[in-house]
Structure 1
Amino acid sequence: MTLIALDDICFAYPGQAPVLNGANLRLEAGQRLSLTGPNGAGKSTLLRITLGLQRPSSGAVTVFGKPRQAEADFHEVRRHIGLVFQDPDDQLFCPTVAEDIAFGPLNLGKTRDEALAIVDRVLGDLNLMHLKERTTHKLSGGEKRLITLATVLAMEPQALLLDEPTNALDTKNEARLLEILQSLPQAILLVSHSPAFRDALAPDRLELRDGKLVAV
């Protein structure tokens, strides 16, 4: 089953040359795929286009078999595809870890008790229960990264989009993150500057060259 299909995607920031110029991508259920290319090639832009956070100037976005164009089309997409941002501080905004993780499930209509049960389950699965009552902004960079992943997993997504997930991680936390991600069933679309991390998690690779995706 094809979860994400991007066809002939073109995109340019105002006043700049096109970043994407006919990019095509398929992500199948359970697949792990890396996007590579130099800084500024458009990798993060592609992730954002997949979720409707940016709109292509032309081309088609199809997710879960349905074309996605209007803002309303992407509401379902964002419920079922989780994006882990480059900077955890862009994603964590509640006073405590438990509140941050419960935020998504509560927005999906879960009761408070149901949301708290999800918090406990996700933190237990990730062996992070000791962080449950911590103040979010006082976490270390590595802890923030892992809690950001927990907030996304609480939504029970079908796929994960990971934008430089090892940024600011020490060796120990990078190994822990890799162990967690390798154990997950979700399809993964990975942007990472670390060849070792890419090879271990998502060895299938597409490279952005001149605005197009090329198998390498």
Structure 2
Amino acid sequence: MSSLIELNDISYGYRAGQKVLDRVSLSLQTGERLFITGPNGAGKSTLLRILVGLIKPHGGQISAFGTPRVSEADFHDLRCRVGFIVQDPDDQLFCPTVVEDIAFGPLNLGASREEALAIVDEVLGQLHLTHLRERITHELSGGEKRLVSVAAVLAMKPDVLLLDEPTNALDEENMRRLEEILLALPQAMILISHDPHFRRKLATRTMELRGGKLSEQGAKKCSASERSDQQSFETL
């Protein structure tokens, strides 16, 4: 099976002689929810930014959807197909209202105003967030901003999702809502998270980034039915 995304021998350092990433490789398959763990400062966020072309690696190759990604034009196309949800939703949400924030992506991709608004309503309905449609973005709670940032990315209909510490500052109710949303989505995902409970709920595979090296963690991947059985058992 061909990978949706492949990183091969990626190296990067912030200063001369300092290797944050040392010949790191990973692949993402259809339907996977791949978690990346590791200590603060290990380079996890840097790795995601390299994947979408926001940072240029010092060495290695990036391939996505069967195509090598080298030039800025290659990455522009990639960023249209990979939705990146950053750590702080305030860095992602910048329009006055929720409806405008979610419509921005489709409009930027060429949708008409009517088409963009239809997408907004579709995504908000899918995520059960229609009640937030007309809210002023900066008045939302931290958890509501996180859910709206997910909606804004999904409105662009990406093939893959990247989520950098998506549970930061979430209360229990919004954490549960985010888990439900992500479990119901068909997209393959790469997620960075320090939260072991969140990983146990969602992960199909986990890797750890430490000392510049990325290594596989844990046993075999669970099937969807096995994860469902485990979750049912945890609720008893």
TM-score between both structures, scaled by the size of structure 1: 0.98
Query: What is the rounded CA distance, in whole Å, between the counterparts of 2:16 and 2:59 in structure 1?
Result: 17
Question: 1:177 aligns to what SS in structure 2?
Answer: helix
Query: What is the rounded CA distance, in whole Å, between the counterparts of 2:118 and 2:215 in structure 1?
Result: 43
Q: Which has the larger radius of gyration?
A: 2
Question: Where do 1:131-146 residues align within 5 Å?
Answer: 131-146=132-147
Question: 2:4 aligns to what SS in structure 1?
Answer: strand
- Alignment partner of 1:103 is 2:72: no
Question: Where do 1:160-199 residues align within 5 Å?
Answer: 160-199=161-200
Query: What is the rounded CA distance, in whole Å, between the counterparts of 1:89 and 1:15 in structure 2?
Result: 32
Provide the identity percentage. Answer: 62
Deviations 1:112-168 (A, max 9, x none): 000000000000011111111111111100000000000000011111101000000
- Count of paired positions: 216
Question: 1:72 aligns to what SS in structure 2?
Answer: helix
Query: What is the rounded CA distance, in whole Å, between the counterparts of 1:11 and 1:64 in structure 2?
Result: 23
**Contact 2:32–2:204 (CA under 8 A) maintained in structure 1:** no
Question: 1:145 aligns to what SS in structure 2?
Answer: helix
Shift of 1:209: 2.4
**Contact 1:93–1:100 (CA under 8 A) maintained in structure 2:** yes
Deviations 1:9-52 (A, max 9, x none): 00011356110001000001111111011111111111111100
Which residue is equivalent to 1:57? Answer: 58
**Amino acid aligned to 1:162:** L
Query: What is the rounded CA distance, in whole Å, between the counterparts of 1:210 and 1:4 in structure 2?
Result: 23
**Amino acid aligned to 2:132:** L
**Amino acid aligned to 1:32:** R
Which residue is equivalent to 2:78? Answer: 77
Query: What is the rounded CA distance, in whole Å, between the counterparts of 1:37 and 1:56 in structure 2?
Result: 20
Deviations 1:27-86 (A, max 9, x none): 011111110111111111111111001110000011111111111110111111101100
**Contact 1:83–1:161 (CA under 8 A) maintained in structure 2:** yes
**Amino acid aligned to 2:79:** R
Shift of 1:210: 1.9
Which residue is equivalent to 2:125? Answer: 124
Q: Which has the higher contact order (CA 8 A, sep 6+)?
A: 1
Question: 2:156 aligns to what SS in structure 1?
Answer: coil
**Contact 2:142–2:170 (CA under 8 A) maintained in structure 1:** yes
Shift of 1:195: 0.6
Which residue is equivalent to 1:88? Answer: 89
Question: Where do 1:5-84 residues align within 5 Å?
Answer: 5-15=6-16, 17-84=18-85
**Amino acid aligned to 1:58:** G
Shift of 1:98: 0.4
What is the root-mean-square deviation in Å for CA atoms of aligned residues? Answer: 0.9
**Contact 1:161–1:188 (CA under 8 A) maintained in structure 2:** yes
Query: What is the rounded CA distance, in whole Å, between the counterparts of 2:104 and 2:147 in structure 1?
Result: 16
**Contact 2:83–2:154 (CA under 8 A) maintained in structure 1:** yes
Using the TM superposition, name which of 11-20 and 88-97 deviates more. Answer: 11-20
